[in-house]
Structure 1
Amino acid sequence: MSPKVLDQVLARIPRVANPNLLVGFDTADDAGVYRLGPNLALVQTVDFFTPIVDDPFVFGAIAAANSLSDVYAMGGKPLTALSILAWPGSGDLEDLEQILKGGAEKMHEAGCVLLGGHSINDPEIKFGYAVTGTVHPARIKTNAGARPGDALLLTKKLGTGVISTALKRGLAQEAHVSASIASMLTLNSAAAEAMEKFEVHAATDITGFGLLGHAREL
């Protein structure tokens, strides 16, 4: 869904005032943030998509890394996750097992505890996670804090979306695919840790809307 269409729909959804709601859906940020106390807030996000690579294990791991990135972009630390699965009744159970294993391994790498999940029967495969993390309320990074003159830093190379689309159409070169997969499998935990050491005004996770789409939200 395009950012413009999504904005039109969300504009008609009523906002509920709550003093503990620190980041809601009015700013199109990567995750929502809810304050639990003076020094602790919850970061919550959900993300899932259809397969973008042929290897089911790699797809599961990419889906996990992608879901975790929203928490990292907010300056948070992932704690727990729930998987979201849409699977056809005629699907190969070995492929399903590999998807779940790939996701679980990546969650373990991030130190994020997998609690369970939910599945439905669907002719089109979809997989992802709802991830919950924590952050200090004073250290939240949002997409709304950018200032004129700020330097724009990218923590990964651009182009994974273009390469994934080319792969589906049989047009991608193997070297490009390998580099793209390696990038998508890399957690953004190091970038989140680096943000704590410097005065970062804003951050966002560049995914479905691309560089320009997400830059529009900054």
Structure 2
Amino acid sequence: MNALLTPPAAEPRLTSLSHGGGCGCKIAPGVLSDILKNTAALPVPPQLLVGIETADDAAVYRLNDEQALIATTDFFMPIVDDPFDFGRIAAANALSDVYAMGGTPILALGLVGMPINVLSLETIGRIVAGGASVCGEAGIPIAGGHTIDSVEPIYGLVALGLVHPARVKKNSAARAGDVLVLGKPIGVGVLSAALKKERLDADGYAAMIASTTQLNTAGPELARIDGVHAMTDVTGFALAGHALELARGAGVTARIDWPAVPLLPGARALAAQGLVTGASGRNWAAYGRDIALPAGFSDTERALLTDPQTSGGLLVACAPEATDEVLASFARLGFGRAAVIGRVEAGGPAPLVVDA
């Protein structure tokens, strides 16, 4: 373990204070469904363009013919030990939901829960400063927020954005014949598990930080491409879970070309050593029955398929003729590993099929 990656000896490691880090601490999909099952009956105003119906990334409320407000929130416990990096990752992850709807962030509110008798004010300040730095990159202020004294460290944002009502990109509008494009490699959960067990080297840490702090700024540009039909970001429910949401919402089948899925450096080797998160198993238990796997698909590969991502990439469903433009947009904005990873078909026996 690189000494630069460990906190001062006077304070505990941030990850030692959390029972689950990043989006890996999300409530399992099946449990979440049970919790929310009685909320769908609440009144829905006609201005609400996107609510909870298809587990989309954010709520969208029409303000007028030219503007719709995107509202979302995301927060979690530490995924890394460096406080500044933790703040950066949490902020980038929260803003990602605005980008995934095709919108542009306009402001954020900070959500801070900290064990103030365990962590120094300097450490807590560095977490908040990390979040502010990413909001600065996005060109928005943190205009307020809320703080509590908490047993575990928690940080995140309420994020607000704007989008033209005609350019809102739901996760439920994919069409049979679409191509699936993924903006970032997966494997964040595996690398975070290795970090927590002090088995992630400096290069692996650098790759994880570079991916998780990269803002998904391609979202608004992709939303302006006529052939882009649906968009979501891949986070705690993993590539499998978010592809399933896309497929279920549209009544189609998502087919993943597994060898084409980009992985973070070292992720497969670390997963083969058993360095996976508990959330990976919970994800599979929640939705594995809806996935058709190829013969001989190993436990390692399945762990990667269900690996929870934190601040993961955009998953785009687009018409085949728009694929080159989508990939060019990703490349122009710094997403050099964006790749075509599959296609959308008419609904079949399983909503998600994985090909080896």
TM-score bracket for the superposition, by shorter chain length: over 0.9
In structure 2, the residue matched to 1:27 is 54
- Note the C-alpha offset of 1:198: 4.4
Against the structure 1 CA distance between its residues 198 and 55, is the aligned structure 2 distance closer, same or farther, given a 3 Å change threshold? farther
- Matches of 1:176 and 1:193, distance apart in 2: 30
Q: 1:8 aligns with which of 34, 38, 53?
A: 34
> Residue by residue, what CA displacement relative to the aligned partner does 1:126-161 show, whole Å, maximum 9, x if unpaired?
100000101111000011001122111111111112
5+ residue gaps, structure 2, are 1-26, 247-356
Q: Aligned-pair RMSD on alpha carbons?
A: 1.2
In structure 2, the residue matched to 1:125 is 153
CA contact (8 A) 1:155 1:191 kept: no
In structure 1, the residue matched to 2:201 is 173
> Superposed, which structure 2 residues align to 1:189-208 within 5 Å?
189-208=217-236
Count of residue pairs brought into register by the alignment: 218
Matched, 1:42 2:42: no
Instruction: Compute the TM-score of the two structures, normalised by the length of structure 2.
Output: 0.60
In structure 2, the residue matched to 1:67 is 94
Instruction: Compute the TM-score of the two structures, normalised by the length of structure 1.
Output: 0.96
- Matches of 1:103 and 1:30, distance apart in 2: 20
- Matches of 2:124 and 2:116, distance apart in 1: 11
Q: 1:83 aligns with which of 110, 121, 143?
A: 110
CA contact (8 A) 2:58 2:101 kept: yes
- Note the C-alpha offset of 1:10: 1.5
Q: 2:85 aligns with which of 49, 58, 62?
A: 58
Q: Matched residues, percent identical?
A: 50
- Which range moved further: 124-133 or 186-195? 186-195
In structure 2, the residue matched to 1:145 is 173
- Matches of 2:212 and 2:59, distance apart in 1: 23
- Note the C-alpha offset of 1:191: 4.2
- Runs of 4 or more off by more than 4 Å in structure 1? none
- 1:6 maps to amino acid: L
> Residue by residue, what CA displacement relative to the aligned partner does 1:148-185 show, whole Å, maximum 9, x if unpaired?
22111111111112211221122323322210110111
